[in-house]
Amino acid sequence: MASPLTSRRQPISPSTLPPIVLFGDSLTEWSFNASTRGFGWALQRYYGGRATVWNRGIAGYEWKSYNTALLALAFPVLLSDLQTAPSPPPLFITIFVGANDACLIPASAHVPLPAFEAHIRDWVDTVLTDPVFKGTKVILITPPPINLSAPRQDDVDIGFVRRTAREEGQGEREGMRFRTYASKRDYAGKVMEIARSYEEVSDRVVGLDFWRALVDQELVRQGKALEKDEQGGTVYDEDALPGCGLRGAKEFTPGTFVDALHLGPLGYDVLTKELLALLTSRWPELSNEDHDKREEAEAEAAMHGARQESEGRADLVHQVGGSEA
Q: Annotated catalytic sites, by residue?
A: 26
Contacts of 322 (CB under 8 A, 6+ apart): none
Cα–Cα dist 179/222, whole Å: 24
Q: Helices (DSSP H) in 85-232: which residue ranges?
A: 113-129, 160-163, 176-199, 210-221
Angle at 309 between CA 305 and CA 310, to 5 degrees: 115
Cα–Cα dist 310/308, whole Å: 5
**Closest residue by Cα to residue 26 from 272, 279, 208, 268:** 268
CA 272 to chain centre: 7
Cα–Cα dist 237/67, whole Å: 30
Instruction: Tell me how crowded residue 28 is: count the other CB atoms within 10 A of its CB.
Output: 27
Residues constituting the chain: 325
Cα–Cα dist 245/287, whole Å: 39
Contacts of 103 (CB under 8 A, 6+ apart): 65, 109, 110, 180, 183
